[in-house]
Amino acid sequence: MKKTVAGGLSAVLGLAVLAACGSGSDDGSSQAGGNADECVAAAKKIVDAGRADVTPFLPDEPVDASKAKGKTVWMIQSTVTPLVTAVTNGFKASGKDAGINIKVVNGNGSIPTTVGAVSQAIAQKADGIVLFAIATTAVEAQVKEAKAAGIPVVDTYNSNIGTDLTASGFFGHVSADYAQGGKEVAAWMMADSKCDVDTAIMGNAALQPHKAQRDAALGELKECGGSCKGDYITLDLPKLATIAGPEAQQALRRDPNMKYIYSLLDGAVTFIAPSVQQSGRTDVKVASMGGDTASLERIRSGKSIHKAVVAIPPQAYQGYAFMDQILRAMTGGEAVDWKLTTRFIDETNVGKSDAEIFPQFDGVEAKFNALWGLN
């Protein structure tokens, strides 16, 4: 469901919202709180900082993985995207290294199926549960039941960094700074448009990472002054293949002046980009968050309207980070305040291969194994 709300931001999840950034002259020279040049300079500063190279975070405290050898960990996912598959493969590889049995269950976008999978893991006496991008509110009762049964639960790809979930029964979580990602994408659009942004933000704000991105992007757009506006379009994730492209086309038909689309997940761009290009709108620029291989290849080619992505570190690294947190939970350790540091990627730093984007992550799996006492 979607609609445009003039002059404000809807507080209701799942409804379309409009970022009203103020009004200015046609040339954008009149800006709230400053002129266009100041607005663009401030936006560029945010984007430039986001483009900087990042190093892999590794905890200081080691883990004796031998204490968990032979245990079974369930990974329960909300839906399937290329990024989810890649991270899961990294998680499986880390389990093989540590001697952990991995069982993966995907909810295929169905909340009842996902909740049922958590209950099933508890009933089958899993040694640990890792939730992949599942809204914590949907599984509150099950997480508390798991804790009562002595089964640690780790949340991932969900709450923003720094969130304490222990009161809800979670051992800990592994997360990226989704709000920062939303801020960087908004700043990129502002810098590119000379602070005259007309955009559609597409995602599902029932997912906390999407809500964090959306809210941060809309908040940053308020800083641009001038003419800033855009729809928030809710996507039914299990139906991405059939609805993402048509929804983008409809948004552009409603607003022919729209020049940007911000997809809150890479997986939707697979359908958005070709659909928009086929409609003849080659002037539109798309940005997203995630950094899967397909997205990076589109940006690298220079032939796609997909121009930028907030990339989370290599998917294999993420899988090992998930394993590190659940290993600590199963061996009596303390939770780590994990932060998956992101990097803003566009044509200026996409390089010739994915390895060039996160060069300092090369061989990081061996560093995890050393941390776990496996080599």
Q: Which phi and psi angles does 343 have, rounded to 5°?
A: -140, 130
Q: Which letter, b or e, does each residue of 51-63 get, where b requires 16 or more Cβ atoms within 10 Å of its Cβ?
A: beebebeebeeeb
Tokens of 12: 């209701």
Give me the pLDDT at residue 327, please.
98
- CB-based contacts of 312: which residues, under 8 Å, 6+ apart? 83, 176, 289, 290, 291, 318, 340, 342
CB 309 within 8 A of CB 213: no
CB of 174 closer than 8 Å to CB of 130: no
Measured CA to CA, the distance from residue 125 to residue 48 in angstroms comes to 48
- Residue 244 phi/psi, 5-degree rounding, is -60, -50
User: In DSSP terms, which residues pair with 129 in a beta bridge?
Assistant: 74, 153
Nearest Cα residue to 183 out of 164, 157, 166, 201: 201
Find out whether 123 and 79 touch, Cβ atoms under 8 Å: no
Give strand pairing partners of 229.
Answer: 198
- The predicted pLDDT at position 164 comes to 81
Q: What is the pTM of this model?
A: 0.84
Per-residue pLDDT at 280: 93
Coil, helix or strand at residue 262: strand
Contact 67, 37 (CB under 8 A): no
Rounded CA-CA distance 219/21 in Å is 9
Residues 266 and 210: beta-carbon distance below 8 Å:
no
* Sign (positive or negative) of CA dihedral 1, 185, 164, 338: positive
pLDDT of residue 230: 67
Alpha carbon distance 341, 17 (integer Å): 28
pLDDT of amino acid 2: 39
Q: Domains in the chain and their CATH numbers?
A: 36-53+178-311 (3.40.50.2300), 65-173+315-336+360-371 (3.40.50.2300)
Contacting residues for 370 by C-beta, under 8 A, at least 6 apart: none
CA distance 160 to 338: 10
Quick one: pLDDT at residue 80?
A: 82
Contact 315, 340 (CB under 8 A): no
Those residues with Cβ within 8 angstroms of residue 350's Cβ, 6 or more apart along the chain or in another chain? 296, 299, 300, 357
What local confidence, expressed as pLDDT, does residue 161 receive?
75
Mean pLDDT by 10 residues, the chain (375 residues): 33 31 34 70 97 95 97 93 90 97 92 95 98 90 97 88 84 93 97 95 88 93 77 89 96 95 95 95 96 94 97 94 98 93 96 92 95 93
State the pLDDT at residue 282: 93
> In 72-210, at which residue ranges do the beta strands (DSSP E only) sit?
72-77, 101-106, 128-132, 153-156, 172-176, 198-203
Contact 275, 286 (CB under 8 A): no
Report how far residue 170's alpha carbon sits from residue 146's, in angstroms, rounded to the nearest whole number: 9
Do residues 78 and 352 lie in contact, with contact meaning Cβ atoms separated by under 8 Å?
no
